[in-house]
Amino acid sequence: MTSVSPHKKARALKSTSRRPAKELCSECGLCDTYYIHYVKEACAFINQQIGELEEETHTRSRHLENPDELYFGVHQDMIAARKQQPIEGAQWTGIVSSIAIEMLNRGIVEGVVCVQNTKEDRFQPMPVIARTPEEILAARVNKPTLSPNLSVLEQIEKSGMKRLLVIGVGCQIQALRAVEKQLGLEKLYVLGTPCVDNVNRAGLQKFLETTSRSPDTVVHYEFMQDFRVHFKHEDGSSETVPFFGLKTNQLKDVFAPSCMSCFDYVNSLADLVVGYMGAPFGWQWIVVRNDTGKEMLDLVKDQLVTQPVTSKGNRKEAVQQSIPAYDKGVTLPMWAAKLMGVVIEKIGPKGLEYARFSIDSHFTRNYLYVKRNHPEKLEAHVPEFAKRIVGQYKLPE
């Protein structure tokens, strides 16, 4: 007699039902499946367990005494890279899509979990299991909104797939790792991106309307290493807005509460992470966490130009000054913001130091958010590495 897995008796929540993590839910998609059975252990916002899952995934948790691991997690290599021939319409040069296509074409995996958009709305996420390169390409570029990538997990078990690649952000990957053993796979590959300051669809609209000159024509945007937000519009034109000119007072409530409480910016549990923030402007930043990640990167190495990562400047003072400024919602007049942008671009942190600047700024903000809004969660929810990072700064009450 075959026994039925306990989760198969569980029922996905209706889309309108309140999620177990309540307002902290990042809509990762787990609760849209019968894997909701494991939510109390698996949810990144109910049971933070990065250290334990690092050990299971990478055979050890990060060395807290190693300054690079403290910030960027367990890794065996970090490089800067870009595609010799970038994929048109990708977020950066398309390294993520290229790895996924290569894995499918070579038969290493049978499917790829990634996120396309709906026909009606380019920013409305639509998670899929891609089985062709065309379907992977249709998922290129960020959907800068909370995306229920794990909502397709039931389909995986039903399809009988045994080798799978999942592309996702930290909260999705934490829940995925927690249920990995229940998926019935022979091999799971995880390709992660860093993620921060995500929003729901309404929040995205508010961000675009308060920040861009033409919110309806934005096809792509990114907070870049030159301390500016770069927007690309439908007609191919671009627009930049200095970080220091953002209307912080109006934008304070835009970011999702989940993202205001997240300390997994660098996607600690992926095998391979592809972002940009530790690399020079125009380049992507790659963190190889384990042998599986190396195997994935090796598949596209001949399509890349690479260079070693570097680090320049000192972020500490800029971070310390930004803490009370953000807290009070200070917005500079545009001329001053532009000037400050030019100065900080010339003398400010670069490469890995820019990545540390961004991590420090977000972790201090998020620590204050959790302390003020969910004090009972502070101790268990903030991982030890984040406590050490935040501990370098003086925080307001």
Per CB under 6 A, residues contacting ligand FAD are 87, 90-97, 114-115, 125, 139-145, 147, 149, 167-169, 193-196, 198, 222, 274-277, 284-285
Q: Is residue 177 within the footprint of ligand SF4 (CB under 6 A)? A: no
Residue 168 interacts, among ligand FAD, ligand SF4, none and using kind-specific CB cut-offs from 5 to 8 Å, with: ligand FAD
The amino acid present at 254, given as its one-letter code, is V
CA distance 285 to 278: 5
Which residues lie closer than 8 Å to 207 by C-beta, 6 or more apart? 199, 251, 254
SS (H, E, C) 5-23: CHHHHCCCCCCCCCCCCHH
Q: Is residue 173 within the footprint of ligand SF4 (CB under 6 A)? A: no
Residue 5 C-beta: closest distance to ligand FAD, Å: 26
Nearer to ligand SF4 (CB atom), residue 16 or residue 84: 16
Q: Report angle CA 263, 266, 270 to the nearest 5 degrees.
A: 115
Q: Which stretch binds ligand SF4 (CB under 6 A): 16-24, 135-143, 263-271, 279-287?
A: 16-24
Q: Is residue 26 within the footprint of ligand SF4 (CB under 6 A)? A: yes
Residue 43 interacts, among ligand FAD, ligand SF4, none and using kind-specific CB cut-offs from 5 to 8 Å, with: ligand SF4
φ/ψ of residue 232, rounded to 5: -115, 135
CA distance 157 to 184: 7
- Which residue has the CB atom at the shortest distance from ligand FAD? 275
Q: In whole angstroms, how far apart are CA 313 and each of 23, 68, 70, 310, 321?
A: 38, 16, 19, 11, 16
Burial of residue 363 (number of CB atoms within 10 Å: 0-12, 13-18, 19+)? buried
Residue 30 interacts, among ligand SF4, ligand FAD, none and using kind-specific CB cut-offs from 5 to 8 Å, with: ligand SF4
Residue 137 C-beta: closest distance to ligand SF4, Å: 27
Residue 91 interacts, among ligand SF4, ligand FAD, none and using kind-specific CB cut-offs from 5 to 8 Å, with: ligand FAD
β-pair type (125-130, 111-117): antiparallel
User: Which residues are at the interface with ligand SF4 (CB under 6 A)?
Assistant: 19-21, 25-28, 30-31, 39, 43, 45, 171, 175
